Structures are given as C-alpha cells and as structure tokens.
Homo-oligomer: A and B are copies of this chain.
C-alpha cells in the first residue's frame, strides 16, 4: 500500500485517522491442523500428507479464507493431497475414493474467492485434495479450426506461453490469471478482463472431458447443433461437483498484432451505462470495456496520488466540466487498421453521451495494475482493513436499480465510514455485469462477522432484484444459499438429479454449488 494511498484510505475509513502497521500471518507450524484421516491406496499416484501440503490446500482466496489462514484458525484441511499425472490417474483416484467413500476436492490454482476449494468432507470419513498441477500439457492444436486441447492444471501464463509459441492466444485474463488454471476457468464459468471481446470462458471452452464416479464424460468440440440439451453447458460451472475435468478444448485466435487502450470520462453513471449499452447492442463494443461509478472514479483518482500526470488529468477534467464523472477504460486487440476503425466508432458513441477522451495514460495505468488488486487486498488486511469484492449481472433496464440496491445494502451493513464502489466490466447485448468493491476498518476478531453481514446484505439485495448471484466468481460455498433463488425449486431438483446420476455417493466437492439443506 503506497503511503499516499494509505493516508487517503485512513482519512476515508477513519476513526483512528491512520492505518495500523503491517501485521503478518501466523507461522505454518502454529496453524491448528486436525490429524489426518486414512486415505485409500492410490497406487503410483504421488500423494502428500505433510503439514505444508495440507495447509496449502486448506483454503482458497476468499476473505474468510484469508482471515482464517492469517490467524491460523483454519476451518479444516484435506487429509492428503494427490498429484495425478494423467487422466487415467484422475480416473483411478475417483474410483478409489468412490469405493472407499472419501470426498474429493478438485484443486487448480486455489484462487476461488467463494469457498470453491474448501476441504469439506460432507458425510464422508476423509477428504482428499486432487491437485491437477501436473496435468499441464497442450494436448493438441487444430489451427484450422482454431481449437486447442489443454490439460486442466495449466495456469493462465503457461497456457498462453504454449499457445503463444504457435502464434496463438486464448485471450482469457481474469484477475486470477497468474495462478488460476484452465480446469478452474471451465469449472467456474470464468470471465476475464477482455471477455467482452474474446468471450467468457464458457464460450471459449468448446469441448470437455471429465471423470465422474459413474463414468467418463466426453463432449467433443463440435459446432453448435440441435442434438438435444447441451451437456457442455451442464459441465461448465459444475465446480467439480459432477466430474473432475481432465481436458478442455478451447477456442484460440491468432495473437493480436496490436493492442490499444484509451480512457474516457462520462458525465454521470446513467450516461456511461447508456453509452456502453449502445456499444454492446450496436455490435461495436471494444474487447475491454470498463466503466467506474462516481465513487470508484473518485477513489481511483485520489489513490493515484498527486504526481504531475495525475494533477494534470484532474485539472483537465475540471476545466472540461468533469469535476466529477465516471471513468471508462476501453481496450482493443487486433490489426492496427481494424483497431483504428473500431476505436473511431466507439469514440463517436462515447462523445454522443458526453464522453471526454482522457488519452491512453489512465488506461495504461489500469492495465499495468490489472492483476494487482488481490495483492493489495492482502496488504490492506495486514493493516486491519476488510477489502472485498462481489459481482452480479442483470439486464440493461435493471442495471441502475441493481446498482442502487446493492450499494445501499452494503452501505447500511458497513456503516458510515466505508467505501462502496462499483464498475461495469462485461457487456452483453441484453445486459452487463456490476463489480462491487467495499472497504472498511475491521477490528481484530470482528472480521468474519462484518464480512458475513455485508455479504448477506448484498446477496439479498441482488436476489430481490432478480439479478444473478454471481457473474464470474462462481458459487462455491458462499453463494450456495442463494441458488434456490437463482435456479428455482425445479431447477435445483434438476441439478441434484444430475449430481445423483454422476456422483451417487456425493464424493465430489461436497458442500459446493448446491445448498446443503
């Protein structure tokens, strides 16, 4: 946390006037760890049952996870961690655990922020973390069809490097990019920062292979067709509860020749939403499209400090009547001529809605820090600040009301000295996503209660608006209580029937996705 940002946040979040000094997490040896229960024999599959491996697979990266890891009071740990090296070894593990009634938690990058990798054992005697890191190969490339089969343990950068050596890109850049894996992207219907252009991961993932206790699933990357319900869309987002994914066929593209970013200021939130709606519905949306509300714009610019460039930007906005306003960041990938054409169309739309071009610098600053927020969150936690995000999506006609309702719910739950801010980051013809960030000082020991109150208030407001409980963070344990509102009773029954069929003993990722009651 840079000093000017710390000072600014202290003044916003208040009471003590300044932030507490950095405080580190407890040592590995001091983490409270239950004794490991016995696991079935896994033959040749590498297995670890040591403290380090178990603690490293005890949690994801949700705020409660981080609080527990930091204090050493973890909720539980897997009894062991298996590291299969092939789809066959994954199948052998699933078979062995099904036979012995041992829970299996598929583990990719461990970046879930919704409790998706909690080592819950459900009714079972033991729980095994199935770490897919060694399934990290590029299996096949069909360049003519722009398809590549990837193994699930490949992290974002490694997948891009393998594809990049063939002149290809996947273009999937979630904030978790550095650690998250191909299997995790598919299991959670991930969306990345350029998904408005490249498509969500559930669009990019054209084929899947997976292993369930009841058998193996194989969805070839055929074009869209009329051969009944789409099973790809059942496995995508199943979060390891229906099958362990062993390969994903992704759509790839030629690496773009150029990339361009540009920032704009929109007079107000409704203007910005209307401009973005036009971009999406006219089919001229940039690949990256991000619109901050008034508060996020204010906070971002204040946190940017007081350097010459920032002061110049502030002065320019003031001069042009944008003392307040909403910051928009647009990005284009591709051939330079095509970027120029698309940019010109987008500029016309933004200008028509009162947009003021701010040049590339603010957008490049965003691009530079695009994967940093999770690290900043850790740094803030170490100084006694709860920093959390949540996201949703709804139709264009519902966006303003949803924004207002969730902002109000969070403000009520967090009290006066809190920051609640939001941006739109994914555009669709019929609607868009909202991504909320909230910060508040959290006295030691009160973190989890505060988080729970804020999260519950926001989720209730989202459900009351008929919006989706999660646009791209997925369900995990945290959103499971709202799945009945999301899917309806008959919808939930359908998901439970799929689970019973593929995983009759419920060993796959217990307690995730579906409400436990």
Judge whether A431 and B145 touch: CB under 8 Å: yes
A 145-182 to B, binary, CB cutoff 8 A, 1 in contact else 0: 11100000000000000000000000000000000000
CB-CB under 8 A from A203, the residues of chain B are 224
CA distance A202 to B229 in the complex (A): 10
A194 proximity list for chain B (CB < 8 A): none
A234: chain B residues within 8 A (beta carbon): 229-230, 233-234, 494
State A216–B490 Cα separation when bound (angstroms).
6
Is B226 in contact with A474, judged by CB distance below 8 angstroms? yes
List 5 additional contacts besides A228-B237, A229-B233; criterion CB under 8 Å. A214-B490, A216-B488, A221-B430, A224-B393, A231-B487
Residues of A222-258 whose CB lies within 8 A of B:
222-239, 242, 251, 253
Question: Contacts A222-B394, A497-B501 hold; do A237 and B233 have CB atoms under 8 A apart?
Answer: no
For the complex of A and B, list the 6 residue pairs with the smallest distance between their C-beta atoms, beginning with the closest.
A233-B233, A497-B501, A215-B490, A145-B395, A225-B468, A223-B431
- The smallest beta-carbon distance between A403 and chain B, in angstroms, is 14
The answer to whether B491 and A231 touch across the interface, beta carbons within 8 angstroms, is yes
Complex interface: chain B residues within 8 A of A372 (CB): none
Partner of A226, one of B190, B217, B231, B497: B190
Cα–Cα distance between A502 and B498 once the two chains are bound (Å): 11
Chain A's interface: helix, strand, loop or mixed, by majority?
mixed
In the bound complex, CA of A501 to CA of B214 (Å): 18
A277 at the interface (CB under 8 A from B): yes
| Cβ distance A180 to chain B, nearest Cβ, rounded Å | 13
Chain B residues with Cβ below 8 Å from A513 are 228
Which chain B residues lie closer than 8 Å to A190 at the CB level?
Answer: 226
- Confirm or deny: A132 has a beta carbon within 8 angstroms of a beta carbon on chain B: no
Is the beta-carbon distance between A227 and B468 smaller than 8 angstroms? Answer: yes
Closest to A216 in B: B490
B146 in contact with A490 (CB, 8 Å): no
Kindly list chain B residues whose C-beta atoms are within 8 Å of the C-beta of A376. none
Which size bracket describes the interface of A in this complex?
35 or more
A127-148 contact mask (Cβ, 8 Å, vs B): 1 or 0: 0000000000000001011110
With A and B bound together, what is the CA distance between A231 and B430 in angstroms? 18
State whether A501 touches B491 (Cβ < 8 A): no
Docked Cα-Cα span, A142 to B228, in Å, equals 29
Docked CA distance A413–B352 (Å)? 62
| Contact partners of A466 in chain B: CB under 8 A | 220, 222
A-B contact pairs, 30 of them (CB 8 A): A145-B395, A145-B397, A145-B430, A146-B281, A214-B490, A214-B493, A215-B489, A217-B491, A217-B494, A218-B488, A220-B466, A223-B394, A223-B433, A223-B471, A224-B428, A225-B470, A225-B471, A225-B472, A226-B470, A226-B475, A227-B479, A227-B486, A228-B237, A228-B239, A228-B483, A234-B234, A490-B502, A497-B498, A497-B500, A497-B501
Q: Could you tell me if A472 and B226 are in contact, using CB atoms closer than 8 angstroms?
A: yes
B468 touches A222 (CB 8 A): yes
Which residues of B sit under 8 angstroms from A502, Cβ to Cβ? 490, 493-494
* Distance in Å: Cβ of A89 to nearest Cβ of chain B: 19
Within 8 A of B (CB), among A458-480: 466-475, 479
Q: Which of B222, B430, B432, B483 contacts A251 (CB 8 A)?
A: B430
Chain B residue at smallest Cβ distance from A480: B228
